A = this chain, B = another copy of it.
């Protein structure tokens, strides 16, 4: 069985040669363990950070060891209470076709209740990231204007839809006309901006947000965010969720200092990771599931087939080749 390891730490945009496929002998399970077969692998921009050395909120990946991310796996064999052959589990797992687990950090998921892949998306870390970032930090009020960058990405699309459910005017920023059209026609955004064809982001945001920006859910950072910052209202809340525009930077990214804007308008900027809200996952998942069942949340996925295509799927994130959640189906 095959595993995908980190071959070298990427410099700039990751390359296929930063990954390697290694064959390993299949391990045997002991009492209290189970054997898992990978079903779906979630590839996410934040993994880029773990490929670098240095202190972060989670340990960096080690060279010549398997990469890990959110995955759905099927139980092949179990000597672990509560897990039986044929069950599906969700959690952080290694990029291995088959692996042994003691069940730590894994949740059983119900393939009858929702599509398995949705446990990596709307009902998984993606949905929870959107939910807690927007509601706990952004605290949007009906009638306010919410701007989302990376709006056609996995988290962004859900953020915008939840903001609409809360009665806000929602403006998305994405990288193609196709994405921008989808945001308005399928996801119900009030307006959307193609940053690749907008010459002046500050002006484009001003036109799309005649009452200014109250909440900004930022997945990208960089010049797109500079344009949004020029339009924030007094007491605006900026949710700093991701900075995909900087993840491949090879020097410290520079930009306009934000402090004068924060002071002038009493603005809040808050970085977060979804696990900060772990205690509240139990209240959020049923709410997200309810919205999904009621058709109030539309989930978009880009499904790539084949374990061997996992590294390329990850690399494609940085060119925005995904619409919604990027998932590898094994």
Contact = CB atoms under 8 A, between A and B. Distances in A.
A181 B12 CA distance: 46
Interface stretch (A65-73, A193-201, A257-265): A257-265
Contacts of A257: 221-222, 243, 246, 252-255
Contact of A256 (B243, B253, B263): B253
Contacts of A75: none
A260 B255 CA distance: 12
A258 B261 CA distance: 13
Contact of A240 (B263, B270, B271): B263
A270 B268 contact: yes
A276 B267 CA distance: 12
A205 to B, nearest CB: 16
- Tell me how many chains of this kind the complex includes: 2
Contacts of A259: 218, 221, 225, 240, 243, 246, 271
A273 interface: yes
A263 B271 contact: yes
A267 to B, nearest CB: 5
A222 B257 CA distance: 8
| Interface SS of chain A | mixed
Interface in A137-168: none
A282 B106 CA distance: 52
Interface string A257-297: 11111111111111111001000000000000000000000
Contact of A264 (B57, B234, B260, B270): B57
Nearest to A271: B262
A165 B256 CA distance: 36
Nearest to A137: B268
A23 interface: no
A112 interface: no
A258 B258 contact: yes
A266 B255 contact: no
A324 interface: no
Nearest 4 CB-CB pairs, A to B?
Answer: A262-B271, A263-B271, A269-B269, A221-B259
